Structures are given as structure tokens and as C-alpha cells.
Amino acid sequence: MASTVIASATDVWTGEQPVSGTNTIQIDTAKFADIKVGDKLVVEFKDAEGEAIELHSNGGMLPGTRYAHFIYPENSNIDVFVTQAMCTSLKEHGLEICGKDFTATKVWYGDGKQNIDQNIVWTGYFWMDNWSTLEITKNSFAGVDWSEVSAIRFCSQAGRTDYIINILINWEDGGKLGDQSTMTMTNDYAELSLDNINMEERLSNTDRLMIQCNKEGGEPFNFTDIILVKKTSTGINTIKGSAKASKVAFNLAGQRVAQPTKGLYIIDGKKVILK
């Protein structure tokens, strides 16, 4: 799995505190005065017994996190990468660490990922293998003006398009928003068009968005970012001559094109006419 080299770290809490339903850890906003978008926030623990850790802020889930981090025997920490919404919430409301059957020992943050902007609602490394499911907290989308969003892009390190992906709000009939047969698939991402999806309405009766994948015949891979793709004035741009040379282009079937000629392509997630 991917890892991140930490060049610097800031401790925000140390100790040995058992966490339960009635005993959580509260960390004040002052401890996050210097945290920034892209930093990695880490919770270290011991004596875990297979339960889950939840990160809360302002009385609810911390925006930009997974709904719950399940603890496996080999785990001694969980980490999240700070989005813009998460950074704002930590600075304004602090952090509450919830769960049960583990003893927290340290909380710190340090250098993580670069180039995280306001359109990235979740970022990290989530291992997709056999029907793995990444569950993102609903409030990761709080404040989004869906009238300005044309699609949601689910970025990965798969390097291929022959895997199964389901985007769901629940497991019931009608809970699926899209899959590999309805989404734009490239080697770098799967993109869900919102042309016929009212996201405000679909998210109103759920607490999470779920991304389920099955690796199929290929190797497992990491999911790395969930990005809101904003609308352009026409939805189609025009690029002339050598302007296309530095861009990665895909045809409408999702196949990468090394030397695109004239025609309609997907470049940086946008439909582009090359002349």
C-alpha cells in the first residue's frame, strides 16, 4: 500500500485513555491552530479488540473522513488526510475521538499530501480488493451547491478500467447512483455524471456515500481522491494545436489516447474538441 513520508509532526494529545461510548477524548481548537489542508492527522492506540474508531467534530462526524475506521489486529493507528472542510471544522470546533474497546495513546498531525483543493471532499489511501467498500460521511458534502457540480470523480491508482464500481447511498433497491456501465471510466478515475441525479435529494435521507469496488481479474488498488467536478459555461472546451500536447486525453470509451488528433476527447475531466 502507499505510504507518506512525514517531514514534520505536531503532537496534539498524548496519554493512555480507554475509549468507550461514555468516555471519549476531546481536543480543543487551539491544538489545531497550525493544521493545514493536506496534512495527515493520526490517532495512535493499543489494546484494540476489533471495533471501530469514529472522528467527530461539532457534534457530528468530522467532514472528509470515513464513516468508521474498523480496527484490525495488525493496526496500531488510523490516519486521515485533511480536506478544506475538515481543516475548517478542526479549527472552529476541535476534535472528538469516539468508539470503544481501544486505548488511545497519541494524536498528532504532520506533512501529508499536496495539491488538495476545495473541490476534493475526501483524500487518502483506501485499499480496494474483493467487494471493498469506502464509506464517506455525508457531511463531507455539507455546503456544496450542487447546481454548480456536473460530476463526481472517484480517483484511483488502478491503472485500468476493468473493475466493478458501485456508487450507493444505501443497500436497498434504488440506492445505487451509478456503476461502471453508466460512468465514464479511465485508467485514473471513474466519473459519475450528475446530469440526471439530484444529489441534494438523494443525500437527504442517508448518512453516508458508499463506493464499492471489486478488483475482478486484476490486482487490488488504492482509491485516492473524491473530487467535485464543477460545471463550465458550455461543458465543451476547444483546444487548438500544441495546447493538447501536455494533457492526458481519453476518447469517449474511456481509452487513453497518446497522440489525439481532431475530434472529441475527455481531457482533465472535461469534454474537449481538438481542432
Summarised one tens digit per residue, pLDDT across range 251-270 is 766 667 777 777 777 776 66
Report domain extents, the chain.
9-110, 120-230, 236-274
What are the residues whose beta carbons fall under 8 Å from the beta carbon of 2, sequence distance 6 or more? 125, 157, 222, 224
Cell of 101: 474497546
| 9-110 against 120-230: fold identical | yes
Query: What CATH architecture applies to the domain 120-230?
Result: Sandwich (2.60)
- Give 194-215 pLDDT, tens digit per residue: 999 999 999 999 999 999 999 9
Query: What CATH architecture applies to the domain 9-110?
Result: Sandwich (2.60)
Inter-residue contact 1 to 127 (CB < 8 Å): yes
pLDDT per residue of the chain (275 residues) written in tens, 0 to 9? 344 444 578 999 999 999 988 899 999 999 999 999 999 999 999 988 788 999 999 999 999 999 999 888 888 999 999 999 999 999 999 999 999 889 999 999 998 998 899 999 999 999 999 999 999 999 999 999 999 999 999 999 999 999 999 999 999 999 999 999 999 999 999 999 999 999 999 999 999 999 999 999 999 999 999 999 999 744 455 444 444 444 677 776 666 777 777 777 777 666 777 76
**Strands 270-274 vs 236-239: parallel, antiparallel or unpaired:** parallel
Cell of 219: 490486482
- Dihedral angle at the C-alpha atoms of 55, 61, 64, 66, nearest 10 degrees? 70
Handedness of CA 221, 1, 19, 62 (dihedral sign): negative
Q: Would you say the pTM of this structure is higher than 0.95?
A: no
| CB-neighbour burial class of residue 50 (10 A; exposed 0-12, middle 13-18, buried 19+) | exposed
Q: Nearest to residue 263, comparing CAs of 253, 183, 194, 191?
A: 253
